[in-house]
Amino acid sequence: MFNVKSPLVVIKVGGKIVEEDATLQRLLDDFAALPGYKVLVHGGGRSATKMAAQLGIETQMVGGRRITDAAMLQVVTMVYGGLVNKNIVAGLQARGINALGLTGADLNVLLSDKRPVREVDYGFVGDVKQANVDVLADLIHRDIVPVMAPLTHDGKGHLLNTNADTIAGETAKALSAYFDVTLVYCFEKPGVLLDENDDASVIPSIDRKKYRELVEQGIIFSGMIPKLDNAFSALDAGVKQVYITSSTAIDGQGGTLIIP
């Protein structure tokens, strides 16, 4: 349908950034100022935990991952697909960005399988199996900016809580058929660090060999491992470049560049 690939940036921001007003407003200013086509993917875990507590619903976490039973699924749907998503959309509209809030169920963008029970039953958590982005690409070419919440569906009428890093990665992969995609994972730190307590120790670039060495040395661990796994998987699938950086550097200036 489109013969020339235009640049597109997919920005993933953690929940902490979009849940605090000061960091949210800074992010929206920076995101609105980015030229060209763009997509924003967000989290919202702390807001979900807070809302669940107000409703008397216990939050259970295993290895940093949320157990999503039927009651918690209602909470994350309200918070991710509603409160957090629409606050971002409204903020972007106020900045002249024609944003559209979406879950993976909207336009059938992201189809998932419910995670099978192994050592842990995560409940209604989805693992993405298919991305359908032809309509999404058409909307982007019409200067509509998708804002994607971390929810997908199983095609059988059920919503599924889905990791936002995964949603960003799978969306970026699929959109690489239509655009030259840059994927940016941003969070509170300025990049991947040699010393987690020293923000000045940013590693400027990481390839697979260096990644393996840093994991073996215990420098890269915990939640950064799946983030980097997603980054290399995206590059393998046709994404042009991947950065891990601060939410205040989403223009690609600084941070850690992931090299195929």
Read out DSSP for 211-222?
HHHHHHTTSS-T
pLDDT of res. 3: 60
Higher-scoring residue by pLDDT: 76, 260: 76
The region of weakest confidence among 15-24, 66-75, 131-140, 236-245 is 15-24
Residue 53 lies in a domain: yes
Residue 32 lies in a domain: yes
CATH number at residue 21: 3.40.1160.10
Burial per residue of 214-236, b for 16 or more beta-carbon CB atoms within 10 angstroms, e otherwise: beeeebbeeebeebbebbbbbbe
Rounded (10°) CA dihedral 97, 43, 148, 55: -100
Residue 243 lies in a domain: yes
Using the structure block, give the residue that is written with the tokens 């915990």.
222
pLDDT tens, residue by residue, 154-210: 999 999 999 999 999 999 999 999 999 999 999 888 999 988 889 899 999 999 999
Note whether 182 and 241 are within 8 A (CB).
yes
Name 69's Cβ contacts closer than 8 Å, sequence gap at least 6. Answer: 123, 124
Residue 128 lies in a domain: yes
Domain residues for the domain of 165 are 6-258
Q: What is the mean pLDDT of residues 216-244?
A: 89
Q: What is the DSSP string of 8-76?
A: EEEEEE-HHHHHSHHHHHHHHHHHHHS-SEEEEEE--HHHHHHHHHHTT----EETTEE-B-HHHHHHH
Using the structure block, give the residue that is written with the tokens 């840093």.
214
**pLDDT band per the 50, 70, 90 thresholds, residue 65:** confident
Question: Within 13 Å and on the Cβ side, how many CA atoms surround 115?
Answer: 21
Number of domains in the chain: 1
Q: What is the mean pLDDT of residues 127-134?
A: 96
Rounded alpha-carbon distances, angstroms, from residue 188 to 18, 158, 172:
11, 32, 22
Residue 1 lies in a domain: no
pLDDT tens, residue by residue, 181-197: 999 999 888 999 988 88
Closest CA to 103 of 52, 167, 183: 167
